[in-house]
Chains A and B, each alone.
Chain A
Amino acid sequence: MQSVISVTHLSKTYAARPPRQAAFEALKNVNLEIRRGEIFALLGPNGAGKTTLISIVCGIVTASSGQVLVDGHDNVKEYRAARAKIGLVPQELHTDAFETVLKTVSFSRGLWGLAPNPAHVEKVLRTLSLWDKKDNQVRALSGGMKRRLMIAKALAHEPQILFLDEPTAGVDVELRKDMWNLVRQLRASGVTIILTTHYIQEAEEMADRVGVISKGSLILVEEKAVLMRKLGKKQLALHLTTKLDAVPAALAAHRLELAAEGSELVYSYDTQAERTGITALLQDVASVGIRFNDVVTKESSLEEIFVSLVRRDPAERRP
């Protein structure tokens, strides 16, 4: 599939500001291809470089080295063509407190050089449940509404690529669901979406592909499903009728763990393996006379995968 954004050898070092701030390497030789029409989730802990990466692509921060192509246009030399395609919803709620909702959204459209289109602006505001508030001053909006306003401003100029930097930080559950629906609708209409988040659930719910960034390095880019399959472990738990003090020696070969104060036996296995070993395990459990009243299987979540990735020693990560 064709790349809509192509990032090559991108590095960024923030200059030192003595005496308080030492030079800081925020991005280290990042290479990334974003496919047209996908939802790409950039995961990483706070301070990993997510926002710096987005800011460079959007033209807010100058890269120290490397290149960014947006739909084939260099984002520095052909900034007009590159930026015209991008909509950015930053993490912080930066708004003009005294402007009205309608004016501030129309301003964004004008800034991108597009002719006024009241019908489009109305559609955007209605989609984001802001149409009723169109004549209100921005400062009168609640936090959730301001967040939606930021999205409306970005959608007002009909971007082909939308960056959502932590779109659901500090947003309640309902609004989060609404936002996920909106993102899916946008994707269905052909918009490429790049979202950063440190909520794994968000990436798990939405993304086609996941990139994990840690300490300025992109440590992994993978299809979400593949990632979960590759790194995900599956566990089978037997709920025992009688508690055990220890795993019986006869079952040692299965490398079981005793959980829930001795009332569960947990078996970890790889779903991709030729033999999962479940049949043998169940036969052996029956043969030592252990009885159980329930069997539960559980897949590891993206969160568990993510935590294990970020915690691993950087030297180990390199292929």
Chain B
Amino acid sequence: MNLRAIKSIYVFEMSRWFRTIMQSILSPVISTSLYFIVFGAAIGSRMTDIEGVEYGSFLVPGLIMLMLLTQSTANASFGIYFPKFVGTIYELLSAPVSYFEIVCGYVGGAATKSILLGLIILATAYLFVPVHILHPLWMVTFLVLTAVTFSLLGFIIGIWADGFEKLQLVPLLIITPLTFLGGSFYSIDMLPPFWQTVTLFNPVVYLISGFRWAFYGLADVSITTSLVMTFVFLAACLTVVARIFQTGYRLKS
């Protein structure tokens, strides 16, 4: 195992983040704050509590997940797409590193960034609404699992993309709608029965539900189902990544 290579890639990815720390942190924090102000304070004050939880507080896990999913995918996809775009990927491909080590470095870097962001957003939430965390360990588990899973998805997108448009297409067309429709802002019970069934095909529902359960003990689906689905999604991403490297897809001609 070339641990030094993993560390080098990881440190390289983190330093890329720290170089643009202001925009990396500021923009998600500002947009989350706006959600809290608009949905939490302005609209939330007219909403009824959801199973005893104030709407503003109910939003917190959903918003963290929203940021976690979008930032993990964006960071990881850009992280691997950029060396492809500028050509520095030659070094990675000619180095004595295994594909597993490359993935560890890039996905580890991207996941770390989004976990840190998630925690920063959680801290921001404390400024606006009351927040309780009933199961802190589960909260961290879901945070880490989701960050890793979606960083893997981002990595796949970054390898698949052969232009900046494609890099933005998947997050825009798939991730954002899935997250918005996955219960970030509402409980699934609030939907008509037909849409409740449709929603269950959305993997993000399970992530948000599990994460919210860790906060308030409220869940749309059982915690076990959430956990199983998260692992299924993680396994699916890992399989695709392994296949990409076996075939050299979009990496080697």
Give residues in A with beta carbon < 8 Å to B: 14-15, 58-62, 79-84, 86, 88, 90, 92, 94-99, 103, 107-108, 110-115, 153
Can you show 9 pairs from A to B with CB atoms below 8 A apart?
A60-B93, A62-B253, A80-B96, A88-B94, A107-B8, A110-B8, A111-B91, A112-B5, A113-B96
Is A86 touching B94 in the complex (CB atoms < 8 A)? yes
From known contacts A110-B5, A112-B95, infer whether A95 and B88 are also in contact, taking CB-CB under 8 Å. Answer: yes
Is A111 touching B8 in the complex (CB atoms < 8 A)? yes
Categorize the interface residue count of chain B: 20 to 34
Is A96 touching B96 in the complex (CB atoms < 8 A)? no
Which B residue's beta carbon lies closest to that of A60? B93
A196: min CB distance to chain B, Å? 15
Q: Write out the residue numbers on chain A whose beta carbons fall within 8 Å of the beta carbon of B248.
A: 62
Is A60 touching B96 in the complex (CB atoms < 8 A)? no
Contact of B96 (CB < 8 Å), options: A79, A90, A103, A153: A79
Chain A-chain B contacts (Cβ-Cβ < 8 Å), number: 75
A306: min CB distance to chain B, Å? 28
Is B5 touching A97 in the complex (CB atoms < 8 A)? no
Q: Write out the residue numbers on chain B whose beta carbons fall within 8 Å of the beta carbon of A88.
A: 90-91, 94
Q: Is B252 an interface residue (CB 8 A)?
A: yes
Complexed CA–CA distance, A224 and B102 (Å): 41
Given pairs A14-B253, A99-B15, 17 additional interface contacts (CB within 8 A): A15-B253, A58-B93, A59-B93, A60-B90, A61-B252, A81-B96, A83-B96, A90-B90, A92-B87, A94-B86, A94-B88, A95-B88, A103-B12, A111-B5, A112-B96, A113-B96, A115-B4
Is A97 touching B86 in the complex (CB atoms < 8 A)? yes
Q: Is B103 an interface residue (CB 8 A)?
A: no
Complexed CA–CA distance, A80 and B8 (Å): 17
Give B1-56 interface residues, CB cut-off 8 Å to A.
2-5, 7-9, 11-12, 15-16, 19
Q: Write out the residue numbers on chain A whose beta carbons fall within 8 Å of the beta carbon of B9.
A: 111
